[in-house]
Amino acid sequence: MDASKALVFLALFIAATTIPRSCASDPDLLQDLCVAETSKGTKVNGFPCKAATNVTTSDFFFAGLANPAAINNSVGSAVTPANVDKIPGLNTLGVSLARIDYSPNGGLNPPHIHPRATEIVFILDGELDVGFITTANKLISKTIKKGEVFVFPKGLLHFQQNKKDKPASVLSAFNSQLPGTVSVAAALFSSSPAVDDGLLAKTFQIGTDEVGEIKSKIAPKKK
Ligand SMILES: *[C@@H]1O[C@H](CO)[C@@H](O)[C@H](O)[C@H]1NC(C)=O
Ligand SMILES: *[C@@H]1O[C@H](CO)[C@@H](O)[C@H](O)[C@H]1NC(C)=O
């Protein structure tokens, strides 16, 4: 094979191996299972696998979504993740769930982004105003009720709010074992170390005193 043929072959090989990957999210696994060995400090794009002899049923089980979570914050919602941090058996499988509960009369899951996953929500109970914003700044929003489904594409800013006078809850599915959450207000106003007040004042076209007021009210992001 001469050099130019080798280059063409290489280009085709790269195309063949990378194009299908652009449709996937977390990479595919190369064995039956790889239960997260969370006690090992080193991570290689996920967790190392537990020794097979140490794998148990409980690595694949989680009861934490069965009941509504206590809502104890100023926005009126509670997210209960069922990801690889809670279910070690999810390591390398590319999926996870969360349950979100919303208080009546305005309970809000504030605008946030999942950098590693598309989210699909199924309403368990109640009714929600949901929406996401595209990179072209177009709002895609809808009021959805019990039994209905809505999708938030990977990486786009989205939110849900319960404006009804009774509680609401959803089950969310993600195509990542650990979708990650960037909550916009918390990221900008309660990061550690803090983002510069002047930068935030200029960004939002407000005064630094107003920035300080927002910072005093935004609770630090919980993991
Ligand atoms: C299995 O787990 C035990 C207890 O955590 C640990 O001491 C042991 O090294 C593990 N076995 C293997 C093969 O990793
Ligand atoms: C959250 O719960 C703690 C302890 O139960 C309580 O002290 C606190 O006031 C609660 N906060 C809110 C915002 O409800």
Domains and CATH numbers, the chain: 72-83+93-180 (2.60.120.10), 190-218 (no CATH)
Compute the distance from residue 56 Cα to the ligand 1 centre, in Å.
12
Compute the distance from residue 169 Cα to the ligand 2 centre, in Å.
21
**39-69 residue pLDDT tens:** 877 777 789 999 999 999 999 999 999 999 9
Compute the distance from residue 54 Cα to the ligand 1 centre, in Å.
6
Compute the distance from residue 32 Cα to the ligand 2 centre, in Å.
43
Report strand pairing: 157-162 vs 107-113: antiparallel
- Sites in the chain below the pLDDT cut of 50: 19-21, 223
Q: pLDDT at position 78, please? A: 98
112 is in an annotated binding site: yes
Q: pLDDT at position 223, please? A: 46
Question: Using CA positions, which residue lies closest to atom 11 of ligand 2?
Answer: 72
Q: pLDDT at position 23, please? A: 55
Token pair for residue 82? 């069922």
Question: Using CA positions, which residue lies closest to atom 6 of ligand 2?
Answer: 72
Name the residue type at position 92.
T
Alpha helices by DSSP H, 98-196: 184-189
Counting ligands in written order, the one closest to the CA of 54 is: 1
Beta carbons within 8 Å of 135's beta carbon, 6+ residues apart: 156
- Give the 3-state secondary structure percentages of the chain, helix then strand then coil, rounded to 5: 25, 30, 50
Question: Using CA positions, which residue lies closest to atom 8 of ligand 2?
Answer: 72
Alpha helices by DSSP H, the chain: 3-18, 184-189, 197-204, 208-217
Name the residue type at position 107.
G
pTM (global) more than 0.95: no
Cis peptide leading into residue 193 (ω within 30°): yes
Question: Using CA positions, which residue lies closest to atom 8 of ligand 1?
Answer: 54
Q: pLDDT at position 129, please? A: 98
